[in-house]
Amino acid sequence: MKAEASVKEQTATKTGADLLVEALIDQKVDTLFGYPGGAVLPIYDAIYRAKGSFDHILPRHEQGGIHAAEGYARVSGRPGVVIGTSGPGATNLVTGIADAMMDSIPLVIFTGQVAKGVIGTDAFQESDIMGITTPITKHNYQVQAIEELPRIVKEAFHIATTGRPGPVVVDIPKDISSTVQANKVDDSFHLPGYQPNLKPNPLQINKLHEALVAAKKPVVLAGSGIVHAGASDELREFVHNYQLPVTTTLLGLGSYPGNDDLSLGMAGMHGTYAANIALYECDLLINIGSRFDDRLTGNLKHFAPSATVAHIDVDPAEIGKNVPTQIPIVSDAKAALQSINKKKVQGLDHKNWMADIDHNKTECPLWHEQPESEIVPQWLIQKVYEYTKGEAVVTTDVGQHQMWAAQYYHFDRPNRWVTSGGLGTMGYGFPAAIGAQLADMDSTCVAIVGDGGFQMTMQELSILQERRLPVKVLIVNNQALGMVRQWQEKFYEERYSESIIDVQPDFVKLAESYQVPGYYIDSQKSLEEVLPKVLADDQPAVIDCRVLQKENVYPMIAPGKGLHEMIGVKKP
């Protein structure tokens, strides 16, 4: 990148904290998620003096704050910005940092640090946040001089949002944020070692085109790289030009319309039969922006065994990491698709392949038993989809409810689906919904959570009334750690070790104690009376929905098995 020349004249003395606030304003930050403490008091004093420049959200726990920032980033497309103090404030952010790293979410996290002179002395509330976060960040900094601060902030935002997005930590010792600076401050930067390759090699695009023309059984795997690159329109053009079947990863849901005739739904451990068999039998696999996660591939020995693999990814480290790749294309997904879309479409013959795929879609769809009056989670999700007309922003934790939401809520556009994919973080879904709602106040935002995960971050209910956010919290309550219970049933001979939650709070009274309306539903009739009214309301709500405890997520690929060895498939 060409060095930027911008030297700011300081007309008055300013502290490091003032320079930080100015740098955030320069980055057009409108929302901060942060929790004050001793080491960041100078920063919070500067924020107070700059009142009106940002909307500051005070979570009740730092983990809630950083997951909210993740939800904000995923829906808005802008980086989430987080502030935490030193020691426990910083370490409470670690789960969210790791989560963002796994899912390529752009975050810039500012942590307070003890003064430079006492770093390394086990000072009060000191933690080695640089050492802790080095393996779970795209980059991290510890500011050593006040003059560095504006440049580092600028670099941090650049690194977090370019190439493959990710979290960047800026650790600021307290004496840096309180030091006074009166001289010129140069915030220009030059990063010769960081030059993401965004444009595809034309020769590799030609190879992909030749492979497409020769293929009899092609399939596209769409990952979250499509969403991050804003390439959904280009993907639709590509797919329709070549009439290609499309499956998505968990995080790629919404990158291609779930109800389109060419969509196979989600692939992987709890994906559709049609999607997984297509990946197993294809002769050309075009992976766009997916990292071939093990929950997607199953046993690698049986993954796409007869296919030529083309992999488009902005991160070259992902190509060939898990699956041997014959056509590697290092590029931003949007640029690569724009290039292939310019090629002439000719000589395609996929009729037999498409007939096989349509047969699998029709004869082996997702299924579930439907009791007369009790609520099964699949039916619950279908009702949420129906009442919201598929237009809601949906967030989840991890587990059974996450998989049912992925299977039965048909995402038709990007940035409507916010979930913890790589790290699988319980407690993620509700605070992520807060950030998602802040990023899009015009949409209905539904947090579909389990009764276990909700109890990890439910203290953030405080924010709903405080900020008048109409988030709907839908607790899929099976009084169990559902996915753990399912695995114990299938693979541990029904030894339910510590997975059944017999004692729970009264979630309705809990919600009301936070001045949030609460509802209890335990039958199809009560659900159909309550859910549509609550979803259409402009108030926040907590809905405790009791579902069958022993309902399992199917179909499923058992550990060590291949995509073609799914269990729980309903065949004619």
Torsion angle, alpha carbons of 563, 565, 570, 572, to 10: 100
Q: Is the peptide bond before 257 cis (omega within 30 degrees of 0)?
A: no
Considering only CA atoms, give the Rg of the chain: 25
pLDDT at 4: 46
CB within 8 Å of 220: residues ≥ 6 apart: 235, 238, 239, 244, 245, 246, 247, 286, 288
Q: Which of 14, 138, 154, 174 is catalytic?
A: 174
3-state secondary structure of 56: strand
DSSP annotation of 500:
B
* Cα–Cα distance for residue pair 166/519, rounded to 1 Å: 38
Please answer whether residues 144 and 135 qualify as being in contact, where contact means their C-beta atoms are separated by less than 8 angstroms. Answer: no
Closest C-alpha to 438, from 27, 54, 28: 54
Name the residue ranges covered by the structural domains of the chain: 14-181, 202-364, 377-553
User: For the chain, first and last CA: distance in Å?
Assistant: 58
How far is Cα 265 from Cα 467, in angstroms, rounded to an integer?
36
Annotation says 454 is catalytic: no
418 by DSSP, 3-state: which?
A: strand
Cα–Cα distance measured from residue 321 to residue 99, given in angstroms and rounded to the nearest whole number: 20
Distance separating alpha carbons of residues 78 and 54, to the nearest angstrom: 14
pLDDT average per 10 residues of sequence, the chain (572 residues): 47 87 97 98 97 95 98 97 98 98 98 97 97 98 96 98 98 96 85 96 98 96 97 98 97 96 97 98 98 96 97 97 97 98 89 96 95 94 97 97 97 96 97 98 98 97 96 98 97 97 96 98 96 96 97 96 95 81
Cβ atoms < 10 Å from Cβ of 70: 31
* Contacts with 343 (C-beta within 8 Å, 6 or more apart), sequence order: 205, 209
pLDDT 10s digits, 81-100: 999 999 999 999 999 999 99
354 is catalytic: no
CATH class of 14-181: alpha beta
> Annotated catalytic, 551?
no
204 a catalytic residue: no
Q: Are 395 and 445 in contact (CB under 8 A)?
A: yes
Catalytic one of 10, 54, 116, 125: 125
Report the pLDDT value the prediction gives residue 185, as an integer from 0 to 100: 83
The pLDDT tens digits of the residues spanning 489-526 come to: 999 999 999 999 999 999 999 999 999 999 999 999 99
Among residues 1, 4, 124, 466, which one is catalytic? 124
Residues 321 and 343 sit within 8 Å (Cβ to Cβ): no
Q: Which residue has the tokens 């900094």?
A: 141
Q: Is it true that 14-181 and 202-364 share their CATH fold?
A: yes
CA distance 488 to 214: 46
Closest-CA residue to 449 (of 474, 425, 471): 474
Report the CATH fold assignment for 377-553.
Answer: Rossmann fold (3.40.50)
Q: Are 525 and 373 in contact (CB under 8 A)?
A: yes
Question: Which two structure tokens, joined as six digits, stand for 513?
Answer: 């104690």
Strand, coil or helix: 544: strand
CATH fold of 202-364, please?
Rossmann fold (3.40.50)
**371: which residues sit within 8 A by CB, 6+ positions away?**
548
Strand locations in 11-96, DSSP E?
A: 14-15, 31-34, 55-57, 80-84
Find, among 480, 296, 455, the residue nearest to 400 by Cα: 480
Strands, DSSP E only, in 17-132? 31-34, 55-57, 80-84, 107-113
The confidence score (pLDDT) of residue 183 equals 75
Integer Cα distance of 222 and 17 in angstroms: 42
Q: Is the pTM for the entire model greater than 0.85?
A: yes
- Is 243 annotated as catalytic? no
The pLDDT of residue 12 is: 67
Q: Could you say which of 22, 27, 33, 62 is catalytic?
A: 62
Catalytic residue among 102, 266, 403, 483: 483
CA distance 295 to 421: 10
Using H for helix, E for strand and C for coil, what is the string for 52-72?
A: CCCEEECCCCHHHHHHHHHHH
Tell me which residue has tokens 């996450």. Answer: 402
| pLDDT of the residue at 182 | 72
Q: How many whole angstroms from its chain centre is CA 19?
A: 31
Strands (E), 35-130: 55-57, 80-84, 107-113
The dihedrals phi and psi of 568, each to the nearest 5 degrees, come to 80, 20
